[in-house]
């Protein structure tokens, strides 16, 4: 049902040496039968209907009036013509409903939030286009502040009992929420229920919060821009919102394995330090709850996780340092599966172990994972130490060039240029760079060779 490979980055480590790292690649791939079992999906759209969503997007269709106005405490330049953000969201959802992208196996719910929240449509068959379009049209009837946790809570209540289905919540917001701590608490409940969150932000949203929501739940995150002034980056222009929503529906339909729970037990002197999803995109997995909630696996491709262990000194021997086991759901077949405990065995040898060959595929994913850490450090340092921030971004760019992720390279180029010219990162560029580093990753192989040693990467990221 689920093919699993477990690969350490080294075949052996130094005996009697403390403070060593072990990186272990956990690769999951559904078999052909499971990959063919397309699951039903239950999708909740959680849409920001605060006042700023009625801001007209500037572009070729707009004409400046020369006047300005205040909305949600911010000043805007008034224009005529064009579309508002809420117009774009409504058109995107209507196109999804009319596209036939979903079928009778799929259900959709619609939730809106501002100062309050309400369910505009409970879970409804995606083929009931009349009901869906009627609910979507109601999004224009609301306005107010921004309390995203209220909308998240409604979505969780809708989806949490929909077992053995591919579930997903998509949140679209354009501002700072007043209840950030509540959103973070709710993200834990989404993760425990096996519901990924796809977070899309446009404008002055809190990127750290959206990154947390996607990481904590094993979801994805997108930086949506009003107009894409820097082509080639990972930014999503709002005019491309329909395509992004289509992709998220396809993603949910491809998740033939979900509710993955990873059990890890370690022996004395071995500590699990980190779990990351490294392919087909990146996410950090929380370690605060066992078993570890690691998300989903897609059909006809690998889903790859990186486990990082800290090891104390050990005498020369071949020893079991940990056991790994998995449980998971197969929604398309309406059943559950498990991987019995697997032993992770490592050889400790006397003498200089540095001559051991590292596995290039594992280290390629480690380096790719660490790019987001380098970018985060650069973003935090940009205002206080722009020289060091530029150096870190350049290191991330060099790694990304070797990996071959062109869109991420363009995002990093933008950040490097701005830091060197202005000695800081603007809010918009900071989002472009940070969100770009959390996007799609590149599949590695045993032929991968990225040019930095394990120790260099660890030093750069402070691990």
What is 172-203 written as a DSSP string?
A: EE-S--S-HHHHHHHHHHHHHHT--EEEEEES
Do residues 107 and 242 both lie within one domain? Answer: yes
Which DSSP letter does residue 281 get?
Answer: B
pLDDT at 274: 97
Say which residues have a Cβ less than 8 Å from residue 74's Cβ, sequence separation at least 6.
52, 204
Beta strands in 72-165 (DSSP E): 74-81, 107-113, 117-125
Cα(393)–Cα(463) distance, integer angstroms: 18
Do residues 78 and 139 both lie within one domain? Answer: yes
Do residues 371 and 443 both lie within one domain? Answer: yes
Do residues 221 and 277 both lie within one domain? Answer: no
Q: What is the CATH number of the domain that holds 210?
A: 3.40.50.410
State the Cα angle at 426 between 200 and 423, rounded to 5°.
150
Say which residues have a Cβ less than 8 Å from residue 21's Cβ, sequence separation at least 6.
308, 309, 310, 311, 454, 458, 463
pLDDT at 452: 52
In this predicted model, what pLDDT tens digit does every residue of 181-211 receive, in sequence order? 999 999 999 999 999 999 999 999 999 999 9
Look up residue 418 and give its two tokens: 């701005």
Query: Is 182 exposed, middle or buried, given 0-12, 13-18 or 19+ CB atoms closer than 10 A?
Result: middle
Do residues 288 and 348 both lie within one domain? Answer: yes
Domain that holds residue 185: 41-254
Do residues 124 and 249 both lie within one domain? Answer: yes
Look up residue 422 and give its two tokens: 């202005």
Chain-centroid distance of CA 429 in Å reads 19
Do residues 260 and 313 both lie within one domain? Answer: yes
Q: Are 210 and 221 in contact (CB under 8 A)?
A: yes
Of the three residues 355, 376, 403, the one that is the final residue of a domain is: 355
Give the CA radius of gyration of the chain: 23
Taking 70 as the pLDDT cut, the residues of the chain under it are 58-81, 352-356, 448-463
Residue 242 phi/psi, 5-degree rounding, is: -55, -45
Say which residues have a Cβ less than 8 Å from residue 73's Cβ, sequence separation at least 6.
none
For helices 427-436 and 406-422, what crossing angle results, to 10°?
A: 150
Do residues 243 and 261 both lie within one domain? Answer: no
Element (H, E) at 153: helix 148-159
pLDDT at 451: 53
pLDDT at 255: 96
Domain count, the chain: 3
Q: Which residue has the tokens 């209840």?
A: 179
Look up residue 273 and give its two tokens: 């330090």
Do residues 67 and 181 both lie within one domain? Answer: yes
Ranges of H-type helices in 356-405 = 360-381, 386-403
Q: Which residue has the tokens 């409804």?
A: 124
Of the three residues 337, 355, 373, the one that is the final residue of a domain is: 355
Cα(438)–Cα(433) distance, integer angstroms: 9
pLDDT at 234: 85
Do residues 6 and 61 both lie within one domain? Answer: no
For residue 176, the SS3 value is: coil
Angstrom CA distances, 162 to 157, 166, 337, stand at 10, 9, 18
Task: Give the CB-side neighbour count of residue 16, counting CA atoms within 13 A.
Answer: 6
Look up residue 172 and give its two tokens: 């679209």
Do residues 194 and 153 both lie within one domain? Answer: yes
Q: What is the CATH number of the domain that holds 287?
A: 2.60.40.3670
Which DSSP letter does residue 11 get?
Answer: S
Of the three residues 355, 370, 394, the one that is the final residue of a domain is: 355
Do residues 224 and 126 both lie within one domain? Answer: yes
């Amino acid at each position: 049902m689920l093919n699993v490979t477990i690969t350490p980055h080294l075949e052996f480590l130094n005996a009697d040496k403390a403070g060593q790292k072990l990186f272990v690649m956990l690769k999951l791939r559904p078999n052909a039968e499971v990959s063919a079992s397309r699951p039903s999906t239950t999708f909740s759209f959680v849409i920001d209907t605060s006042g700023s969503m009625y801001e007209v997007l500037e572009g070729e269709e707009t004409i400046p009036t020369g006047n300005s106005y205040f909305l949600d405490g911010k000043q805007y330049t008034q224009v005529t013509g064009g579309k508002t953000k809420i117009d774009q969201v409504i058109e995107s959802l209507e196109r999804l409903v009319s596209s036939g992208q979903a079928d009778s196996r799929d259900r959709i719910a619609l939730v809106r939030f501002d100062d309050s929240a309400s369910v505009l449509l409970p879970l409804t068959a995606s083929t009931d286009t009349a009901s869906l379009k009627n609910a979507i049209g109601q999004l224009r009837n609301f306005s107010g502040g921004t309390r995203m946790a209220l909308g998240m809570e409604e979505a969780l209540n809708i989806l949490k009992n929909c077992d053995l289905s591919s579930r997903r919540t998509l949140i679209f917001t354009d501002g700072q929420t007043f209840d950030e701590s509540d959103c973070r608490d709710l993200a834990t409940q989404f993760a425990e229920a096996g519901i990924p969150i796809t977070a899309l932000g446009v404008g002055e949203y809190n990127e750290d919060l959206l990154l947390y929501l996607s990481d904590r739940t094993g979801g994805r995150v997108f930086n949506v821009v009003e107009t894409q002034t820097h082509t080639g980056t990972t930014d999503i222009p709002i005019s491309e919102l329909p395509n992004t929503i289509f992709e998220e529906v396809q993603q949910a339909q491809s998740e033939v394995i979900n509710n993955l729970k990873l059990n890890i037990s370690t022996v004395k002197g071995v500590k699990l330090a980190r779990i990351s999803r490294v392919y087909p995109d990146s996410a950090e997995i929380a370690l605060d709850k066992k078993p570890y909630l690691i998300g989903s696996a897609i059909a006809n491709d690998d889903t790859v996780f990186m486990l990082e262990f800290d090891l104390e000194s050990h005498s020369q021997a071949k020893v079991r340092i940990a056991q790994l086991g998995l449980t998971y759901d197969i929604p398309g077949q309406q059943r559950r599966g498990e991987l019995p405990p697997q032993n992770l065995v490592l050889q400790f040898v006397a003498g200089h172990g540095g001559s051991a060959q590292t596995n290039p595929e594992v280290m390629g994913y480690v380096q790719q994972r660490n790019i987001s850490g380098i970018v985060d450090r650069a973003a935090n340092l940009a205002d206080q130490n722009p020289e060091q921030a530029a150096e870190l971004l350049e290191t991330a760019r060099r790694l990304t060039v070797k990996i071959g992720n062109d869109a991420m390279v363009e995002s990093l180029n933008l950040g490097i240029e701005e830091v060197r010219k202005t000695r800081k990162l603007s809010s918009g560029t900071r989002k472009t760079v940070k969100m770009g580093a959390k996007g799609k990753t590149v599949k590695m192989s045993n032929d991968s060779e990225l040019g930095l040693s394990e120790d260099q990467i660890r030093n750069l990221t402070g691990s």
